[in-house]
Structure 1
Amino acid sequence: MPDLTIQQYPVQPALGRHLVLDPRSLAYRRPYTGDPIHPTEWAPKVPVLDQQNLLAQGIRTSTLAEGVDDVDALGSCTANAAAAAVSVLHTADQLATAGLDVTDPAAAETWAIGLYSDATHRDEWLDDTWPSTDSGSSGLGVAKALRERGLIDQYGHATTAEELCMLLQTGPVLMGMPWYDAFFSPVGRQALLDDIPDWQSSPVAGGHEVCITALEHVMFLPDGGLDYPRTILRARNSWSTSWGDAGEFRLSLALYQALRSEIDLVQPRLDSSR
């Protein structure tokens, strides 16, 4: 096993991401070389998913794997975020061939649970896997699972705000981040996580994976550098459309910078088709 950097977070039904960094990933960065950065937006074909309230969605985990009890939620955020990202890269027909029905939220969530299982097995450092333990997974693990399924041909990484903005010029990006208790309750549909009062002093509830789908606003400083507080990202969550702004939320690059040491950025890609 390579010399991984691993930070595990407590897994709960809403949160299941661990931070796993592989030094070999640095070879797959796309360093920022000064290319233009513009606002951009990507539209996932899969609907906003819900990794909670599984029973209300008609999803019975006991039917998905032998010897597994029904549970009402899983810490499958890595796979839910990956489902959103990969649905940008393929047509609806191609996704259906891969078993992902983008017309049915419950069917898509069931598909994501299967991908979550694959991701836990790709995270070879984990002691347990789903099924039957809700062990959590990583952005790196779910990217490997997508590649093994043939849904992507590679995945790239970013380690700076500028590299993140450049990746978003070509497609959505998976972001693993620490999730503070305060983040559970955005202050308004259009508000930023940054706007939540005293979020920095609230406890870290766990690790979470989301799919960044848009670079909504890009602002520059007089010297040409990015204005981090006024450059805004939008991300897709997986807690149903009743949370946040119809299931999405916003944050500034300044918040990314503040949490950067505990964030990993992975972009699933189909470079061979571009």
Structure 2
Amino acid sequence: MQELGALPDLDITQYDVTGSLGRHRVLDPRSLAYRRPYTGETIRTVEWAPRVPVLNQQNLVAQGIKTGEMFDGVQDVDALGSCTANAATACLSVLLTADACAKAGLDTTDAVAAERFAIGLYADATTTDEWQNYTWPSDDCGSSGLGVAKALRRRGLIDQYGHATTAEELCVLLQTGPVLMGMPWHQAFFEPVSSLALLDEIPDWQSSPVAGGHEVCITAIESVAEIEGDIAYEHTVLRVRNSWGSWGDAGSFRMSLAVYQALRSEIDLVQPRLDRTSQ
């Protein structure tokens, strides 16, 4: 990965983009200043169920998705580094009613149609990532959690977005809705111990190389533990929706807050929000 200083107000880390990984870490101190602080609230288990099926940013042609038919002057590709948009699509399907999703062009009943929606959102996200010199189409350049949140707001699908920078702030956000997490994806993470195992259980994952950046959608706090009133990171477990089809536990995986804490300096957390009552 390469550290960039493209814009003076942004903290940017750019990763290699592949067909399964395409997230860049972009932090804007102006929006980070509005994060929701942790003030000792009780953290409870919570679950947010996406309306869309598990998406797959890979094997696009086999799914019947031809990017050459979606965009002028673009060849068909078999995979896209569109993880930010896939994660955001899962998140959006929680925020909007089924009817509102349909009005926005998001078919919650069909994984292929929803993946096409995500690819279009990916194109928008690469445009809102103004620090980049490339956009999709036709360059599979990746995008950021901040960029896709801006794209959702530009489309009028969310009212605002917030951030978290600590494990406790993340848990506070999850009490009110799903959260997009951009993270460095270590090579060892591709091979979980079992479908139900935590990323924590992969031997020596910390010493494996970083394969790229990945964006996922945290959909649940499955268990919460405390020690003397403080959250016990190793025993507080998150469930996370991925976008590689049935990979993992039917498309999701689990990790403890200890993994978040270990990777915290390379993670960004963005929560798209819909505060208006009409959805």
Show the counterpart of 1:218. Answer: 224
Question: 1:249 is aligned with what amino acid?
Answer: F
Show the counterpart of 1:71. Answer: 77
Task: Give the alignment's TM-score, normalised by structure 2.
Answer: 0.96
Question: 2:103 is aligned with what amino acid?
Answer: T
In 2, Cα distance between equivalents of 1:203 and 1:26 = 29
Alignment check: 8 A CA contact 1:158 1:164 kept: yes
Show the counterpart of 1:176. Answer: 182
Structure 1 position 72, deviation (Å): 0.3
The runs of 5 or more residues in structure 2 that have no matched partner are 1-6
Show the counterpart of 1:152. Answer: 158
In 2, Cα distance between equivalents of 1:163 and 1:38 = 13
1:206 to 200, 207, 212: 212
Show the counterpart of 1:39. Answer: 45
Structure 1 position 201, deviation (Å): 1.1
Structure 1 position 34, deviation (Å): 0.7
Query: Aligned with 2:276: secondary structure?
Result: helix
Structure 1 position 271, deviation (Å): 1.8
Query: Aligned with 2:131: secondary structure?
Result: coil
1:82 to 88, 91, 95: 88
Structure 1 position 35, deviation (Å): 1.0
Show the counterpart of 2:273. Answer: 269
Show the counterpart of 2:115. Answer: 109
Alignment check: 8 A CA contact 1:161 1:257 kept: yes
In 1, Cα distance between equivalents of 2:78 and 2:276 = 39
Alignment check: 8 A CA contact 1:7 1:19 kept: yes
Indicate yes or no: 2:248 matched with 1:237.
Answer: no
Show the counterpart of 1:132. Answer: 138
In 2, Cα distance between equivalents of 1:9 and 1:27 = 25
1:192 to 198, 206, 219: 198
Query: Aligned with 2:185: secondary structure?
Result: strand
Structure 1 position 272, deviation (Å): 2.6
Question: 1:255 is aligned with what amino acid?
Answer: V
Structure 1 position 245, deviation (Å): 0.3
Superposed CA RMSD: 0.9
Show the counterpart of 2:262. Answer: 258
Task: Give the alignment's TM-score, normalised by structure 1.
Answer: 0.98
Comparing 257-266 with 181-190, greater Cα deviation is found at: 181-190
Instruction: Give the alignment of 1:92-103 within 5 angstroms.
Output: 92-103=98-109
Alignment check: 8 A CA contact 1:45 1:87 kept: yes
Alignment check: 8 A CA contact 1:214 1:233 kept: yes
Query: Aligned with 2:149: secondary structure?
Result: helix
Structure 1 position 2, deviation (Å): 5.3
